[in-house]
Chain A
């Protein structure tokens, strides 16, 4: 295949790189204020993420839920449907998958059925706001966001009462049966099958869907100009509904992979906000599957690198959230920044 990078692609890449650079500069100021050397801090961050083989694997493990969520959100954002509810969809997927796995016990189909059901659960949880948007005209930003709280507290109730493990003191589900655990691919690491599925199956499939299929075309048409899309015979309601449901499916899958690859039980603290991190990643990757994949590994590296920074330099863990927050501001303003730089002649394309 011939790789041809068009001017607009080049510009998009540059836009994301500028956002990242600016976010890191602002974070440097924070490091200086808290008495740390920013160069050293970023060095430790890199070492913490990619310092050796097992740290690199850990970064990939961390990347998996972020990647799955953000690939889904890229689909939704492409047609300008703003799904803020991946966190809730992730929890619902994880919960339903866990219940299925625990109820089925050790059968040869446990894992497959659990995966199928976690996907369906994510789809259903995203389907509710999707239908509310297409049939009642209710803004999806509000519904998806608020449904996160419904999902998280509902799951906490489920693991505190009906599905509470009989053998522990904490509110958590019973341990998954062995047949529902994702196999480890590299011995003595946590590199489970889900990591490989995310990288080698989810990325190509979403790429095919968004960049090569007629559905991807329709997503883009609806996102760019819904009136022209309708005139062109595209069913815009169905396209928006599908986009939201697909993002829910991937979020649900991300949730169950965390249970069956990492935690082995459903817990209230399953996700440190992957559903929200996915928003940052999808925006930074500009809803392009390849861009999203690269952004996922970057954000995962910041997550894991921050542990090292806080350990060695005695910095707060909260820098992860700080960087994400700053990043979102710069990503959202990157178009204006780019135009400013072009106007001043700093960047010439």
Chain B
């Protein structure tokens, strides 16, 4: 008995759609088994984890709050991964964007003007893009692997934020807590309606639509896809690989920075030592679950958003750690990658000779 792969003549369309669904289904089943092993009623636990978060207005709003940054970052990463560029430092770019965006309310709290918020968002985008420009520059100029540099810069950004909120940017009236002063007035992201859903959610949807049109309908989008799938062909077509590197990193970094300042000026309302529960890393899973397609990324963002909310709900209601969320997220990415094999290959189980004779 052995597993054997048989290359399909062409990629399976059914499996392109089916593989992420299978992956989600197996993850949920695995979660049920884990809950059962912990002595919980698996169906009740699964209900608490995956269904309850979408059953009330309050939690639906919370879901949107969690999904917005995941989608903002995820669509940018999807474009990057399409170009076969591995920006895995979105968490750092998010942090950098939060810092540069928050500089305005922290350094000039008395400057209250309708222009303040747009400027903060732009500063956030610029900060994230600048942070991502470092790996892009090092790759283009020195040929340094972008995976390692972008990841290293995550730690640097987090320590920079830590230093700022404990040092120069600490709220002087904050009883020595490591936090900046709370943002006020024009420095706060407006909410949509009365709840907690803020402008970031709308920005995420705009980013999805724009990038969908961009990737499927423009020459630049085509250039990025060719550059990723067939770099040599792209070169013959006159597409510049370094330019693609710059573009993809600036785009994904900028969106991560936007997500960062939206978090700081939205749900958090100030700078704290930690401003993200790993959105930048989870967004990698969002991009893959979303087939690197902006529209599908939106759906994938909701799925991963549920996993965050479910983790919190499970902690409160079932008394199990919210760290299960991270485990399920990791499992999900594994399963997506495993199931993607089905797109290109048929799996045969049998002995060597069986397969050979079946082919003949």
Partners in one complex: no
Chain B interface residues toward A at CB < 8 A: none
Chain A interface residues toward B at CB < 8 A: none
